[in-house]
Structure 1
Amino acid sequence: MTNRSISIAGLTLGLFAFLITYNWGDSDPDQLTFSEALTTAAAVYIMVFLVLKIFAAIIDRFRD
């Protein structure tokens, strides 16, 4: 997996997490603020990026 595809996967899931946690248009009393939703999206991006990089390194190690 290239860095570009890993970044795209992370950004896609991060955007999805942002849209779910910010809850566009609903008046849910438990919805997160904009900055909290943005922080959640950034955390999701970082976690996805790290997990995919680790899996790619493990697969490359055993590919030889």
Structure 2
Amino acid sequence: MYTGNQRTVLYVSVARSQAHELRQLVMETDPGAFLVIGQGQAAYGEGFQQRPSLLDQLGK
């Protein structure tokens, strides 16, 4: 139920193989937590490997 109260939001990106473990951790920490698990298109920034561009792959 929407209360209008401010809440802390944690947005994370994990490998698919880690999603179940993350869900368990969240539910153990806060059984009332609101959790959305979805597939991301891409992740950029520190800690993520960059994939070569299509032009790099084609040698152009």
Q: TM-score range, shorter-chain basis?
A: 0.3 to 0.5
Q: Relative to total residues, which structure has the larger helix share, 1 or 2?
A: 1
Larger Rg: 2
Which TM-score applies when normalising by structure 1?
Answer: 0.33
Using CA pairs under 8 Å that are at least 6 residues apart, name the structure with larger relative contact order, 1 or 2.
1
